Structure 1
Amino acid sequence: MTEAEKYTRTAVLLHWGIALFILINVSLGLGANYAPVPWQRPMIDLHKSIGITVLFLVIARIAWRLTHKPPTLPADYAPWERTLAHTVHYALYFLILALPLTGWIHDSAWSAAAGHPLKLFWVIPWFRLGFITTLPAATKHEFHLWFGIIHTYLGYTLYALVAGHIAGALKHQLLDHRPELQRMWR
């Protein structure tokens, strides 16, 4: 495999870093309700910190992608495979941006937010979205509910797309005998 067929080192690091943070965040988000009560708030706070981190990493990933052409898909991929691959990639970018934003709005509308300052990784003071925090209490409550639901369903959509993304890569690697995984591994 030539270097032109592989993603750049920066793209690879951003891809796997974002993937790892998402995996951790899924575990925290789904597991917090089942954890002992004293662990729940720290788990949710870590979930928020990782979400904000993912937001910045995906912005960096998109900026990198816009300024560095990715390797082309192999010529023998069927047109439907190319279309599906591009559609899934764009949908993943959308979701990886939308999830932290909807979570941030959800958190900013939390009724107890004023008494629980947001600190990234318990150290770095972080702000809530002022245009949300200044809403009337009833409106904030509605935002909190709706954006919690939106955040949850976007998460489920992300799980499905990630599963499809992995299945597609494994199909090309194992069934088509293409070095697909090597393109995103250094």
Structure 2
Amino acid sequence: MKDAFTSILRAVGENPDREGLRDTPERAAKAMSYLTKGYGQTLDEVVNGALFDSDNSEMVLVKDIELYSLCEHHMLPFVGKAHVAYIPSGRVLGLSKIARIVDMYARRLQIQENLTKQIADSIMEVTGAAGVGVVVEAQHMCMMMRGVEKQNGLMKTSMMLGLFRNNPATRTEFLSLLR
């Protein structure tokens, strides 16, 4: 990656040997590795057995989980938050694992629509929940810094599975808790 960033600097008309840029290719390569570290993670590793028996059958909601991702179309950041809820069906997931699942998928080249679905599908798979609801809201630098250059656009996506899709009361409770 370091060589690729050196080539990019040359392609934009810069001199990668000038003082302020000498270490930039290496720093940029390290940053890109960090921003895409989700490729090196698996769902099993992230969850790490943190499932606990529970007779709770009421909604569990974690709101405002910060996320940072890169759009797969322009490799520019999108930044926002995820709200993740599920209805346990015999097991609950360790609280921090929900945020770690969000991070694992966000740290891949991504579109928000797929990120939302991946989070929901994974929570459903891991917990065997009766239902999962995920809402992601983010601002996209590819829309803010280039193209239409709109600074206040906020994209919201949702994925509803199980009871969140089939039971209007469950969906309404979830969405009202986000207000």
TM over 0.5: same fold? no
More relative contact order in 1 or in 2 (CA 8 Å, sep 6+)?
Answer: 1
Q: Higher helix share goes to which structure?
A: 1
Normalized per residue, the structure richer in strand is 2
Task: Name the TM-score, length of structure 1 as normaliser.
Answer: 0.28
Q: TM-score, normalised by structure 2?
A: 0.28
